[in-house]
Structure 1
Amino acid sequence: MRHVRWAAAFIALGAAMTPDPVEAAPTYEILKFEDLDGWAEDDHAAALEVFLETCADIKDAEWATLCALATSQPSARTFFELFFRPVLINGEEQALFTGYFEPELRGSRTRGGPYQYPLHSKPPEVANGSTWYSRREIEEQNLLEGRGLELVWIDDPVDKFFLQVQGSGRVKLAEGGAMRVGYGGKNGHEYRSIGKELIRRGIYEPHQVSAQVIQQWVKRNPVDGPELLRHNPSYVFFREVSEVPSHKGPLGAMNRSITPMRSIAVDPSFNTLGGPVWIEKGGATPLKRLMIAQDTGSAIKGAQRADVYYGTGDQAGRAAGRIRDRGRLVALMPIQTAYTLAPNG
């Protein structure tokens, strides 16, 4: 939720346990709209509204033309069917869907009482792309203390950790009101999965691990819990996001607000950011819906990989945390692009 460039919590905890996909030349197959299970029943107007949020930001002449035409058609469904073709990329792969959300924490702009755990802005000496001190070094050596880098004080160190994994969130302030914080940089260390570490230690089986399970384990273990968190050397800094109205979603990778259950994070090397993507997610809560690719994540790799944005708060977090489902993704591409990639389609 990153100008959120996240390793979202459920991306990081789930996908980090999956082997990296083998690099291979992508394959493309043009489908018909009637091949999309549930296409006729979807709310295409809702998808079009989200598409219009970011289509003007796609830096491509063909997309610019489509964006200009988007509101001139008799219906949203007609627009998508007239100007796009469904393209299945790497159809031999089965898709993996996970979910993410915007956490809502409790905090205060001043330190006191339960509010003892600061979210920091990026130190001036930390350059983008460079490697700074690890999480362990930052915490054990108090490298950020007393430098005026505190944005807000949180009441729970585990919530702070997961906010750093998620990349952005909302803080309900003890003084009243709320503060939205977004990704402001990192220390340059790669994310290391603490869920995978719990499995390696034999504490849990892979199917048992979720963000909630990890949070509860850390809180039950006041010594081993903080040590487990330091297994992840990555440390994320924040900035206050004051330009986003409270009723809007957090900023995605396109620096625009994302929409619950219509925005997804994808691998931009396969799917155009801002473009429509049809998803067919299985599992206990099947989802067949036209989504808009408006975000990315460091663990979202491959043509058949997506993270569904579920919204803000605990309820959204619980829903997102249960998602690790199979299915397929089908990109909707402008007609010329589709037939260029799949000339025999």
Structure 2
Amino acid sequence: MRRIVAALGASLLAACSTPPPPERGPAPAPAASPPAMAPAAPGALLQREAAVWRAARWDELPGWEADALQHAWPALLAGCARPAPGWEPSCASARALDSPDANRVRAWLQQRLQPWRVEAAAGRSDVRAEGLLTGYFEPQVQASRKRSAAYAVPLHTPPADLATRKPWYSRSEIERLPAAQAALRGREIAWLADPLELLMLQVQGSGRLRITEADGSVKTVRVAYAGSNDQPYRSVARWLVERGAFTLEQASWPAIRTWARANPAQVPELLASNPRYVFFREEPLPDPTIGPNGAQGVALTPGRSIAVDRRAVPYGTPVWIDSTEPQPWSPTPPPPRPLQRLVMAQDTGSAITGAPRADYFWGWGEGAEDFAGRMKQPLRMWVLWPLAHTPGDAKPISTR
């Protein structure tokens, strides 16, 4: 799904436009007994395409004993609907776990899984264990089925020729070229009041529309990522920082909106600085407590789902993160609060590349945009992988 500069987190930096969900994985195997395989030797290394995994001990995970792990259990079970290869026996066991309180979940994890610290896939002499944690959210936007003076910004489904023309027209070309406009005519899902709201939806990759229907009734629907123009993502926040609108530390969606209100004539230039354009599909929202689907094809859980580079961490993998919560900008900020918890790798984004790198899903509603927009935190991360299996695309690295 579902960003801008480092200071904006995924709300801006991460560009977490969620791709279509993958095909459903194999059916879970019958429940199996806990594996008898011994943990990996301390310091053992596995090479993935975009990361190195280093075998670790449970006592190396900061805050491991303090997390209310039962709150992550629903996200883990959701991920088991489409498990990563090698996870089927563990998922069957997880479904059978009785009364999954924090202690039972912790015991289950330590019995069945091996922690591996995720490091950059750089040369052996340049291994990096600290990376970047940003944030993203699901915006909530007012919209109308009818175009009017108040609602004049279209939100589109993909054009018919999207697959045959790569890259498709850029954002500025869509605004000015008759051919691009003709290809999108009649493909409007709804009309928005503000072009920055469209940009925000495109950056996040999904959102909720409180939409006024043609008959005047109002309902809430979800719009989800359905494709892009394959143009590169460019940060509008960086564009503003480079022009002195505000500092990197002050960058946020509210700061961008404030600048736009004060400089309406420059808004088209601001938008054109990001050529990437995202298309959507409309989905019903029968249960507003359920998050949007991530790239794994399962619903995201606020505070317990992250976006990753799947070349570094497979979808459906439990991940322990060691970071801090974002804080409002201040010349004398208070000490940061730790953010140490179990999350699930269930999504991806165009700016989430390499390792250690993740995008933290804050959910929707009050506070989500604010936290996501300010999140640019140091990150250490550990994947938790079944003892009885090595990821199929990982290769052991000699430590001699």
**Percent sequence identity over aligned pairs:** 38
The DSSP-based 3-state class of the residue aligned with 1:50 is helix
Amino acid in structure 2 at the alignment position of 1:10: G
Instruction: Report the equivalent of 1:67.
Output: 91
Which secondary structure does the structure 1 equivalent of 2:88 belong to?
Answer: helix
Change in Cα spacing, 1:304 to 1:25, as seen in structure 2 (3 Å) is closer
Q: Return closer, same or farther for 1:316/1:285 CA change in 2, 3 Å cut-off.
A: farther
Q: Out of 254, 258, 262, which is 1:216 matched to?
A: 258
Q: CA deviation at 1:328?
A: 0.8
- Counterpart Cα distance in 1 of 2:372 and 2:79: 24
Partner in structure 2 of residue 330 of structure 1: 382
Q: Cα distance, 1:31 vs. partner?
A: 1.6
Counterpart amino acid of residue 78 in structure 1:
A
Per the alignment, residue 162 of structure 2 pairs with 126
The aligned runs of 1:1-345 (5 Å cut-off) are 2=1, 6-7=2-3, 10-11=9-10, 13-14=12-13, 26-60=51-85, 62-73=86-97, 75-90=104-119, 92-127=128-163, 130-141=166-177, 143-144=180-181, 147-174=185-212, 175-242=217-284, 245-283=287-325, 284-337=336-389, 341=396
**TM-score, structure 2 normalization:** 0.77
The Cα RMSD (Å) is 2.5
More divergent stretch after superposition (221-230 vs 111-120): 111-120
CA distance in 2, matches of 1:305, 1:288: 15
Q: For residues 40-87 of structure 1, give each alpha carbon's deviation from its aligned partner in whole angstroms, at most 9, with x where no partner exists.
A: 221222212211112231241x21111111133462222211111110
Task: Tell me the distance in 1 between the aligned counterparts of 2:90 and 2:285.
Answer: 28
Change in 2 beyond 3 A, CA 1:179/1:243: closer
Q: What letter is aligned with 2:115?
A: P
Give how far 1:128 is off: 7.1
CA distance in structure 2 between the aligned counterparts of 1:230 and 1:28, rounded to whole angstroms: 40
Q: Distance in 2 between matches of 1:15 and 1:106?
A: 24
Pair 128,199 (structure 1): closer, same or farther in 2 beyond 3 Å: farther
1:335 aligned partner, one-letter code: L
Give the CA deviation at 1:187: 1.3
Gap regions ≥5 residues in structure 1: 17-22
Distance 1:280 1:109 in 2: 44
Larger radius of gyration between Structure 1 and Structure 2: 2
Q: What whole-Å deviation, never above 9, does each CA across 1:99-157 have from its counterpart, x for those lacking one? A: 11000000112223522211011110111782111111111235336721110111112
Deviation at 1:206, TM superposition (A): 2.2
Question: Structure 1: how far apart are the matches of 2:360 and 2:396?
Answer: 26
The Cα of 1:93 is off from its aligned counterpart by 2.8
Q: Which amino acid aligns with 2:147?
A: R
Contact 2:316 2:345 in 1 (8 A): yes
- Offset at residue 14 of structure 1 (A): 3.5
Q: Is the 8 A contact 2:171 2:276 kept in 1?
A: yes
Q: Distance in 2 between matches of 1:36 and 1:129?
A: 47
Q: State the secondary structure of the residue aligned to 2:297.
A: coil
**Residues 292-330 of structure 1 deviation map (CA, whole Å, 9 limit, x = unaligned):** 010101111122111110011352101111211113111
AA partner of residue 65 (structure 1): P
Alpha-carbon distance change, 262 to 129 in structure 1, aligned in 2, over 3 angstroms: farther
CA distance in 1, matches of 2:50, 2:134: 24
Unaligned runs of at least 5 residues, structure 2: 16-47, 99-103, 120-126, 326-335
Answer yes or no: is the 8 Å Cα contact 1:244–1:250 preserved in 2. Answer: no
Give the aligned length. 333
- Give 1:12 deviation, angstroms: 6.9
Distance 1:42 1:341, change over 3 A: farther
Distance of aligned partners of 1:11 and 1:129 in 2 relative to their CA distance in 1, 3 Å threshold: farther
Distance between the aligned counterparts of 1:246 and 1:343, measured in 2? 49
